[in-house]
Structure 1
Amino acid sequence: MSAFDYKKVLADIPHKPGVYQYWDIEDTLIYIGKAKDLRNRVGSYFNQDKQLNGKTKVLVSKIRKITFTIVDTEIDAWLLENSLIKKHQPRYNIMLKDDKTYPWIIIKKEPFPRVFWTRNRVKDGSTYFGPYASGGMMHTILDLIKETYTLRTCNLPLTEKNISAGKFKVCLEYQIGNCKGPCQAYQAEEEYNRNIEEIKDILNGKIGNVIKDVKQIIRDAAAELNFEYAHQYQRKLVVLEKYQSKSTVVSSAITNIDVVSIASDERYAFVNYLKIMNGSIIQTQTIEIKKRLDETDEELLTIAITEFRTKFNSTSKEIVVPFEIILEDKNIRFTVPKLGEKKNLLELSQKNVLFFRKEKLNQYEKLNPDLRTDRILTQMQKDLSLTQLPKHIECFDNSNFQGKYPVSAIVVFKDAKPSKKDYRHFNVKTVEGPNDFATMEEAVLRRYKRMLEEEGTLPQLIIIDGGKGQLSSAMTSLKKLGIDKKVAVIGIAKRLEELFFPGDPYPLYLDKKSETLKVIQQLRDEAHRFGITFHRKKRDQGTLKTELEQIEGIGKTTADKLLRHFKSVKKIAEAEESELQKVLNKAQLLALTNYFNKDNA
């Protein structure tokens, strides 16, 4: 079919609504399509080869590159597809290569405004919504309006003077209940205009506000025992709630603007651009910028804006941006929107740029895993305010059972990965009873005293599993060794994942999804696992030794020898006499045999 490796590209396409674009070997745009699920739709071209017609097979054979733009809803995908096809007229979008215009919904500027669709936009002060690439979707919205609101459909000049003069009479639409008869003053203009405002909200995707108002009207009517009125609005509420579309349609009031957003890290910046003309998105692109110096986002965004405006011949006087921009150009106004449709457009741009940043970085990190390591360590250094990259991290955890068998464990991560050959256990020697603070102090002291004696390299970060008390105990040992200023130390409390720094009474809370916190949690969990495994083994050995020492003639030393040789009490009980003689003398052998024979009697 094609030398194009679609599987590799398909893996990077999300299961989201949007518009996809196919490009040929000469980097010419040859097809634009819309999809409710981008990955499924694009994949269907390649996975259903036998079901494709001849023309589509030719199209697929020419594909050498796929780009796409994600949007909020399927309706937005229709709108964007329409805009891009009209702008680029790709070769294989033959059915849309005519000169026809696409429909809009108009709220006519006139007394008692009519609501209808049109293909001709006229600058007469009317409000237009669209354009709609799908006539079916446009008619669905108009049907909702017709079913929910009683509006006039005639083109009579319903001025106050004409109505007062009694020039008009109600028609059949009034008789069958589709109109409330404003032509004979049966409906007040104030009430009619209130309905128009609700319709504008629906067309702007603010149906939630309308539903909220309708519910309040129902409650008020019911409280006043006006059940017939409440029932009318209850029917309206049912229709509105069935209408599922909450698309943000670009209003024709937004004429010519550019929308730009950025996402960056230490190495790369990604900038998304949307070009809006006459209420529709006609251009969209995301570019990547590899940083050379420590450029700010403002500098990079300014460079990208210049590039985009030159490339797409933009003459827009307004540019919507995510933060304040200082650019010496009196013909351009920068807007940082807080609310409204421009804010929605900026959020759409930001969704696209964040998605592409994530996918691009994933591609780089698959090819070069060291990039991921450097990124994580750099982020950890930033989040924890460290003076060095934490390439070598050590984490301590203590375990004991009712004050008995206390042990301490240390795990080591190098380059954000476990270095299991460097893990260590400590049998606590100086602590009596369940004293977690003293246990931590001993373990830290022994660990770094030996490291200094052997001239080893200190870690850049030490993590203490515990709160302020354990952290303070660890710092006591580091101060004794004179290295408390040479290495960063933090404590992590389990309950709320609080991070404590020495001498700081207030904990640090990291985002639950942050990679820094995930690495710290992994260290803590690995230290706990490693420590508890050793602790259980020691506890089990202690229990076994206690049982063997209860046998008359078997002391602590002999019990140790038996366990080292046979590994378990069960194997000792099942051992042949010749094997036992290798460890025991005759008196001990007799005592052991009598003990197990008694248990089996």
Structure 2
Amino acid sequence: MLSFIRSSYPTKPGAYIMRNKKGEVIYVGKATNIRSRLSSYFAKSNSQKTRALISKTASIDFVVAKDETEALILEANLIKSYLPHYNILLKDAKHFSYLAITDEEFPRLITARKNSAGKFRVSAKRFFGPFIEAQKRAVSAAYLRKLFRLRVCKSLPKKECLQYHIGNCSAPCIGKTSKEEYVQNVKSLIEVLEGKREAKKIIAELKERMSKASEKEDFELAMRIRNQIESLEIFFERQSAETRSETEEDYLFFQKIKNTLFVQELQVRRGIISAGKKHLAKINSQEEPEVAFVLQHYAYSEPPQKVYANLSLPQRRKLNLAFGRECFAKPGAKKAKILKIASDSLIPKDADAAVLELKDALKLPKAPMEIETFDISTLFGKNTVGAMSSFSNAEPKKSGYRKFLIRSKQTQDDYAAIYEIVSRRYSSLLKRDLKLPDLILIDGGPGQLRSAERALEYAGAEIPICSLAKKEEVVYLPGKKRPIKLPARSMALRLLQKCRDEAHRFAVSYHRKRREMRERAGN
């Protein structure tokens, strides 16, 4: 392990670069006092992840900066340049993930990550990545999995599951597809992920397979291949259209209240306000939290052609320097009117405190401004339905509520019903490239939570999730054996209860209507 000598490092602000024995950059950080920050890494009370980082560190370089803001910009640029392994590993909101083809007889397409030792946590035939933007990776994974009708179950069941019945899986478990056809689909998938062959060539080969199937009068296979061709054409079209247009603008209005930074974001596309979102961030010791927010907000995806914000000239200059182009500009009279809309939309209230408290209580990567909650309603396994409530900034958003008729034959199975509605919801959102919530809440205990987790894994969606059990009013989190008991009067618990109760009310109401309809039809 590296021998740390305190006096070798300055007490000034700046960025530090940790390298392994091979000279590879494994971590980049920033500090207001480089010597003090580096000393903290060698404290005995550090976490296992930090100890693992230090055990791999052979040397530490540093770059002195004028102030903390310049250090922050320097850190952002160094991370973008080196993509260090431990920066990826230690930041919850920015985990880099890979796609993997498992080495099973009938391979699956799954998400994979590396552990603290830099090794993959799963055994696989091939890995693809890393994917810097989780949502794009999720969209690709979910889309490709369905396109090539690959299985999602961890072990082959003895009978077909829901995914086969809704057309997402070819059901190799019961011989609905030959091993030859399945392996051919996996081969085509690998070619798409490798990008070695042009889209036209892959589609041409599929068309040839479709013609041969038609000649053999295997019309069912020909139809499946035809559907693959159509979906691939849409997929490649989407992939090639991900560049930003010059007509795209973002507007950011900042307001500081005590130790919280409130941000209202408006996105203008082709001259129309297409989206608006509120952000909350805790102000730590940063001299300029606005600059810190912007650097983190656009850390792994470039800002649009222009960004207008209530920033000072020095702040805009720092950000333009950080991003290497003049994208942060002073708003003129016309642009100031749109920024005024953002300003008017930003009204801090008590709900913001509840959202921030929930973020801290559950250790979420960001404030859960958008929460979607799921519940199931049934009576002796009949007329089983699902429902979802939607909350925006701690208030019900009725336009976002959704109802679900359970398609599964296992209508008495609460876990299967949760799996179905969660997978349907987020497969649909990802397929249409729509915005995902900041938090998912499940009405139930650890069993319902595990079913929802599996559904998210199938859909390819990475969203923080928890469940709230009714009797004990405790919160269950993925990977945690013991639930969290929030104080009875805490705003965080009240917010979760409000979301849960609204989803329950909506589910019961929908179930009652379905039951009454059946009874009238029977008479």
Normalising to structure 2: TM-score of the pair? 0.35
Q: Which protein has the larger Cα radius of gyration, Structure 1 or Structure 2? A: 1
Larger RCO: Structure 1 or Structure 2 (Cα < 8 Å, ≥ 6 residues apart)?
2
